Amino acid sequence: MEQESLVRRTNEFVRAEVVGIDDEFDGDVEAAGGDELRVRLQGAARDAGLLSPHGPVDCGGLGLSMTERAGVFEAAGYSLFGPMALNINAPDEGNMHLLDHVATADQRARFLVPLVRGDWRSAFAMTEPSPGAGSDPSLLMTGATKVQGGWVINGRKAFITGADGAGFFIIMARTSGEPGDLGGATMFLAPADTPGIEVVRHIGTVDRSMIGGHCELRFTDVLIPDTGVLGGVDEGFRYAQVRLGPARMTHVMRWTGAALRAHETAIRYVAERRAFGSRLADQGMVQQMIADSEIDLAATRALLLNACAELDAGGRASLSTSIAKTFAAEALDRVVDRAGQLCGGLGVSRDLPVAKIAREIRPFRIYDGPSEVHRWSIAKRAIRSVTGTAQ
């Protein structure tokens, strides 16, 4: 009952406090006020008892498990600004999960607590410009050199979500080996005002709802004390797995909410619009499109909950999260695309929310691993399980 109440209250809050602002500014978070808007909406969510539902209880969150998050995150995702309002946006949500599992007591107090409370935003700096790390993290080129009492980091990063205005960064840097090696990475915690950290530029992308943008960074002789090492030296890739699977699934949760809004908008439209002597909703072709979207939504939720149950049981869930992410990214894109088609001219206009949702959801097929990379990984696992080889 408590879980149902939380989902209901999230639905009510998002519709009353967030959707109108989202629609007024066409999902453009900077035009809507950026961090000022975030602080205001998170204050309202805090007053409603909804802030950081996934955050650890000892840091001020509600402590929801992965399975328990699903309905709440979907309800928040009904508005493009809803996840920001509840402090469950990427990358902050994934960074909270990582810090909760890996950070020392001092790191929790310094970085995790203010993140859960909404005092700070954060960024996860791993992706690099070519020929550095992208879909293949082993190509990591940013380097960290050991010095007395700490490490000095030099390198470049790209597509770092939320970087502009972040309070701190989690930086993935190579501490041993060469680009292409499967190990040798370490994660570092760095306050954003650390000398040598530079936000070079915003990389223009089609999506506009992610606060802090997707940025290019430069690290020049960034000195991080030994206390800033997150997890173990040379074990960054292993610790990153703690974040990876859950972050894929929370993306699915949020985007399911957005796709649902587009789908419901289309249903309301075809139920009222008449053409060729009947309501559009009474035409067989339209009904098939609606049914296909219902199936895609149901299958997405089923795969999501299966992966979440595996994560809650303590498994890495690498395969199940990869399958769920790949299917969801494409299925939810189909749902939104059908919604736009059903709404006709209005489906590509600002008069309805469908067009902006289509704009925002399309990158999900690339973010957190392109569908093609996930398929490659899934196929390799299948071949290995049957033949005993990776060929």
Per-residue pLDDT of the chain (391 residues; tens, 9 = 90+): 588 999 999 999 999 999 999 999 999 999 999 999 999 999 999 999 999 999 999 999 999 999 999 999 999 999 999 999 999 999 999 999 999 999 999 999 999 999 999 999 999 999 999 999 998 999 999 999 999 999 999 999 999 999 999 999 999 999 999 999 989 999 999 999 999 999 999 999 999 999 999 999 999 999 999 999 999 999 999 999 899 999 999 999 999 999 999 999 999 999 999 999 999 999 999 999 999 999 999 999 999 999 999 999 999 999 999 999 999 999 999 999 999 999 999 999 999 999 999 999 999 999 999 999 999 999 999 999 999 876 5
Query: What pTM was estimated for this model as a whole?
Result: 0.96
CATH class of 2-117: mainly alpha
What is the per-residue pLDDT for 3?
86
What is the per-residue pLDDT for 390?
61
What is the per-residue pLDDT for 302?
98
The CATH number assigned to the domain with range 237-387 reads 1.20.140.10
CATH topology of domain 122-233: Butyryl-CoA Dehydrogenase, subunit A; domain 2 (2.40.110)
5 burial level (CB within 10 Å; 0-12, 13-18, 19+): exposed
291 burial level (CB within 10 Å; 0-12, 13-18, 19+): exposed
What is the per-residue pLDDT for 1?
57
Please answer whether residues 73 and 64 qualify as being in contact, where contact means their C-beta atoms are separated by less than 8 angstroms: no
47 burial level (CB within 10 Å; 0-12, 13-18, 19+): exposed
CA angle 243, 127, 29 (to 5 degrees): 80
What ranges do the domains of the chain cover? 2-117, 122-233, 237-387
Cα torsion 336, 339, 343, 349 to 10°: value is: -10
